[in-house]
């Protein structure tokens, strides 16, 4: 069979030989040895084989974790885990070369956002508890020749930190979870005067049509500096980044191959949302093949306004594990929270999905909001939900302790928007 290039619009020509090398590495693991045919080790000659390779899911990675190792235990330098926001945390092993790759990957992403040697990076992300993100930003800042300050998820210490000296003309960049940063800024945390940009991780800052969402607008009230997003997943150590002029986040072709697949695992057309599936390039310890991140987004192949031509990933519109099916309608939990934030950005909310005794899904949105705003929020939200979802979710106002109690049902390091107790 002749390879059909139109089947792989997002795989760039130089990536095929790197993909072959990755498949050779993967076949060293117990998991992939029998799942990947030997001929795929020369994938550049047999491109048609790519689509027949199995998709690797998070569930498979949890279930067969150690079988994914392609190196001996003595070669492992770090174990990291995912946050477990949408299920069980996943353990990932990193070899020495994987840590060097992590630094290179993050340095490229931070450079795209504008970080230069001599600038300062305020890392508002945890470095402990096997979390890879904080480590990655620290490594990336070091590889860029920048100063890094590990201030942690709260911006409480930012005032003193940002007064530390930088080289003349250099700027501070702040990286963290957008909704947490917005909440700290609302509580009075000051930003440095010479701010070069805010980089948001883990949550989208734009709607699918590239318009700023409510969190983006909340952050923009506090600064004129660019507010940029970055997309990455722990399992594939592959960051998609953007600069001030970009529409979407650029793939770094050195680090991974991206596919956007529909429900039948066929490639979606550019601009059409589907499952984000990534094959990282150059990973040694746990070389994943066609890893389904669980995120839903579209890929854009036309050149970016910034002038770069590498494929761009659009905003994450949802996660497949956070898809609610109620009264015959499918709705992403993120879409519900975005809608609430559009109406009142200062609220906090969590969606609780469970199932009653006869198997019917129940969805309740617990919202913390000042009493004087509650009636208006409910009315506006019901009207908007009827328009957008053809469904009116149940809102229950509560205090912050109730939300904390619901969140504790499924502890996670990331801000949770959905607690799903329908299964498990």
Which residues contribute to the site for Zn ion (CB under 5 A)?
246, 304, 306, 308
Shortest Å distance, C-beta 305 to Zn ion: 6
Q: Which is nearer to Zn ion, 304 or 336 (CB)?
A: 304
Backbone phi, psi, residue 281, to 5°: -105, 135
**Beta-carbon count within 10 A of 373 CB:** 16
Structure tokens at 329: 């309608």
Q: Which is nearer to Zn ion, 209 or 356 (CB)?
A: 209
Helix (H, G, I), strand (E, B) or coil at 409: coil
Q: Is 168 exposed, middle or buried (0-12, 13-18, 19+ CB in 10 A)?
A: exposed
Shortest Å distance, C-beta 100 to Zn ion: 26
Q: Which is nearer to Zn ion, 24 or 308 (CB)?
A: 308
Nearest by Cα to 150 from 168, 169, 131: 131
Q: Which is nearer to Zn ion, 247 or 368 (CB)?
A: 247
Nearest by Cα to 410 from 351, 359, 330, 337: 351
Shortest Å distance, C-beta 226 to Zn ion: 12
Q: How many CA atoms lie within 13 A of 29 on its CB side?
A: 26
Shortest Å distance, C-beta 282 to Zn ion: 23
Shortest Å distance, C-beta 246 to Zn ion: 3
Q: Going by DSSP bridges, is the β-strand pair 312-313/249-250 parallel, antiparallel, or unpaired?
A: antiparallel
DSSP H stretches of helix in 165-213: 178-186
Alpha-carbon distance values, 345 to 182, 216, 349 (Å):
9, 10, 11
Q: Which is nearer to Zn ion, 109 or 246 (CB)?
A: 246
Shortest Å distance, C-beta 399 to Zn ion: 43
Q: How many CA atoms lie within 13 A of 2 on its CB side?
A: 3
């Amino acid at each position: 069979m002749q390879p059909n290039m139109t089947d792989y619009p997002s795989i760039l020509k130089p990536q095929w030989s790197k993909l072959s090398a990755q498949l050779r590495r993967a076949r060293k693991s117990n998991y992939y040895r029998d799942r990947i045919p030997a001929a795929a080790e020369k994938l550049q000659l047999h491109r048609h084989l790519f689509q027949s390779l199995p998709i690797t899911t998070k569930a498979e990675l949890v279930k067969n974790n150690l079988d994914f190792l392609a190196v001996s235990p003595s070669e492992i330098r770090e174990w990291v885990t995912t946050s477990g926001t949408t299920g069980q945390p996943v353990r990932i092993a990193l070899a020495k070369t994987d840590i060097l790759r992590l630094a290179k990957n993050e340095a490229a992403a931070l450079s795209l956002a504008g970080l230069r040697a001599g600038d300062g990076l305020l890392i508002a992300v945890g470095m402990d508890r096997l979390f890879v993100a904080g480590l990655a930003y620290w490594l990336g800042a070091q590889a860029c020749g920048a100063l890094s300050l590990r201030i942690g998820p709260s911006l409480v210490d930012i005032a003193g930190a940002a007064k530390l000296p930088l080289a003349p003309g250099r700027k501070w960049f702040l990286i963290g979870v957008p909704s947490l940063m917005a909440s700290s800024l609302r509580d009075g945390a000051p930003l440095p005067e010479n701010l070069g940009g805010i980089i948001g991780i883990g949550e989208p800052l734009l709607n699918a049509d590239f318009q700023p969402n409510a969190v983006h607008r909340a952050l923009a009230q506090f600064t004129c500096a660019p507010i940029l997003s970055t997309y990455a997943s722990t399992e594939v150590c592959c960051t998609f980044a953007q600069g001030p002029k970009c529409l979407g986040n650029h793939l770094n072709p050195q680090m991974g191959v991206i596919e956007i697949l529909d429900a039948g695992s066929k490639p979606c057309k550019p601009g059409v949302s589907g499952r984000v599936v990534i094959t990282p390039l150059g990973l040694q310890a746990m070389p994943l093949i066609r890893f389904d991140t669980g995120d839903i987004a579209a890929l854009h192949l036309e050149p970016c306004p910034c002038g770069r031509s590498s494929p761009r990933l659009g905003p994450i519109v949802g996660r497949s594990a956070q898809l609610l099916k109620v009264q015959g309608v499918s709705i992403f939990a993120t879409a519900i929270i975005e809608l609430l934030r559009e109406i009142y950005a200062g609220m906090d909310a969590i969606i609780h999905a469970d199932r009653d005794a006869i198997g019917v899904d129940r969805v309740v949105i617990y919202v913390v909001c000042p009493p004087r705003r509650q009636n208006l929020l409910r009315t506006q939200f019901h009207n908007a939900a009827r328009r957008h979802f053809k469904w009116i979710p149940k809102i229950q106002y509560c205090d912050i302790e109730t939300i904390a109690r619901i969140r504790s049902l499924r502890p996670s390091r990331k801000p949770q928007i959905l607690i799903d107790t329908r299964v498990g």
